[in-house]
Amino acid sequence: GAGIAKLMAKEGAAVVVMVLGVSVTGEGQDAAPAQRVVDAIKADGGQAIASYSNVAKYDEVGATFEDAIKAFGHVDIVVNVAGILRDRMIFNMSEAEWDAVIAVHLKGTFNVCRHASARFREQKWGRFVNFSSVSAWGSPGQPNYGAAKHAILGFTLALANSMFRYNCTANAIVPGFVATRMTDSTPRGQAVLQQTGKPMSEAFKGTETDPENVAPIV
Active site residue 145: yes
Closest CA to 193 of 212, 207, 206, 179: 179
Which of 52, 58, 145, 166 is catalytic? The answer is: 145
What number of CA atoms fall less than 13 Å from residue 11's CA on the CB side?
A: 9
**Nearest 10 degrees: CA dihedral of 156, 157, 158, 159?**
50
Q: Are 61 and 55 in contact (CB under 8 A)?
A: yes
Task: Dump the DSSP string for the chain.
Answer: -HHHHHHHHHTT--EEEE-----TTS-S---HHHHHHHHHHHHTT--EEEE---TT-HHHHHHHHHHHHHHHS---EEEE---------TTT--HHHHHHHHIIIIIHHHHHHHHHHHHHHHHT-EEEEEE--GGGGT-TT-HHHHHHHHHHHHHHHHHHHHHGGGTEEEEEE-------TGGGGSHHHHHHHHHHSS-HHHHTTTSTT-GGGTGGG-
Catalytic residues: 145
